Amino acid sequence: MIVMKFGGSSVESAAAIERVAGIVKARVERRPVVVVSAMGKTTNKLLAIAAAAIEGKRHEYIGQLHDLRDFHSREARLVVPLAERAELDRTLDDHFQELTELVKGLAVLGELTPRSIDAISSYGERLSSYIVTLAFRHFGMKTEHLDSRHVIVTDKRHTQAAPNFPETYARLRAKVIPLAQEHVVVMGGFIGSTENGVTTTLGRGGSDFTASIVGAGIGAEEIQIWTDVDGMLTADPTILAGGHRVKTISFDEAAELAYFGAKVLHPATVVPAIEKNIPVLILNSRRPDVPGTRIIAETVACDNVVKSIACKRKITVVNIQATRMLMAHGFLHRIFEVFDRYETAVDMVSTSEVSVSLTIDNTKSVDAILKELREFAEASVEHHQAIVCLVGENIRFTPGVARRVFNSLDGINIRMISQGASLLNISFVVAEADVHRTVEALHEEFFAELDPEVFERNEAVHA
């Protein structure tokens, strides 16, 4: 068995779903379990509907609901056989009637709770997985739909629920494995439920996580993440065109890249896969013949020091300077206690004799954080910064990497420097305005020559 996950852009329209059906049908002998995201930007549209409701904009949210239903009906009817149209219409009517009642309830309350966010945002995957199931049947595959909420069991932490792995794995074995013997199983990503059946979500981007959980639970031979890019590249294509495809990369390297901004993979995805030693493939649904990137548990031998350059933009640097305490015992504890209290994650930390600089990407509570920090230290912020991160297993074994990095960045001001405890990365902070120039210089320095066993040069990929 294999797990195949298709993101929102891969199922955004009837044409996209037909393309996905062709990809799955070509692999039906491998008994695929298919996990799909919501169609296109449906989750964003659902949250916009909820926002309009709590603001009392009845005309607006009613219109948005009609538009969303029309979109799903229009695209579905192009890939659903005539014999299934009545069932399709009934299912759409049921889902949108439920959704409308839920939205009207929000309008009355005028409040959007985490539990309500989960309930509303779940409709995207519930609809897309049902439509994809009918489409697969239309294209000649024996297909069964499975509501992910019946098998993905989580805690009650709405909007970012954590799976109960033992119970989830038990349910997946009991329900998915028998179904997959004769059918292509289709499930919605991102969604689950508590033990009491209350709908939860795994957080934005959680469909990758769903695929990994399912793969681990059923003992899949591999987990395929189908996106709209050719795999992991040597640089973020939204920052620098011309990056080279990475053929194979280790789980550890992939996790570092995902955490530091490589958006082709949700950071949590690799955790269940690592535990079960299941390879993860990143593939392009628009170019299914491209072999993509294979992520494996073992270290991947490579002549290049660096595997890829990741970037995390919209970063804020918080500078904290000791005054009378002069880095006294407990100073760092007191600092991080403040960030913990406001549930604000810290990415990078750099310390000196009398100061601490750190980065955050969630600035929702930054004013309150600064107020508390200023009770015992001087504190200031710098907005519009970015983390640039070089990742590679060889960084830990190769002397002189930092010298090459900083020599290539002549004229670019570097705010903070850090090397991860894993020694797999070198990270530093630059102004957002300098990101393109920084990545371009680093790419020229570290990828002028490529190990052909690990990389495929851009010209070959896009010839």
Helix (H) or strand (E) holding 1, with range, is none
Spatial separation of the C-alpha atoms in residues 87 and 66, rounded to whole Å: 19
> Tokens 């890019």 label which residue?
229
| pLDDT confidence of residue 460 | 45
Regions in the chain scoring below 50 on pLDDT? 460-463
pLDDT digit string, tens, across residues 77-130: 999 988 889 999 999 999 999 999 999 999 999 999 999 999 999 999 999 999
Beta-ladder partners of 428? 388, 417
Domains with residue ranges and CATH for the chain:
2-228 (3.40.1160.10), 308-461 (3.30.2130.10)
Please answer whether residues 21 and 141 qualify as being in contact, where contact means their C-beta atoms are separated by less than 8 angstroms: yes
Closest listed residue to residue 272, CA positions, set 324, 206, 338: 206
Spatial separation of the C-alpha atoms in residues 131 and 135, rounded to whole Å: 6
Measured from the Cβ of residue 342, the count of other Cβ atoms closer than 10 Å reads 14
| pLDDT confidence of residue 422 | 66
Please give the structure tokens belonging to residue 286: 């628009």
Please answer whether residues 234 and 443 qualify as being in contact, where contact means their C-beta atoms are separated by less than 8 angstroms: yes
Please give the structure tokens belonging to residue 418: 């850090």
Please give the structure tokens belonging to residue 441: 């210089």
Please give the structure tokens belonging to residue 217: 């639970």
| pLDDT confidence of residue 186 | 98
Spatial separation of the C-alpha atoms in residues 33 and 106, rounded to whole Å: 35
| pLDDT confidence of residue 328 | 65
Contact partners, residue 438, CB within 8 Å, separation at least 6: 388, 409, 412, 430
Spatial separation of the C-alpha atoms in residues 35 and 185, rounded to whole Å: 8
> Tokens 């403040």 label which residue?
338
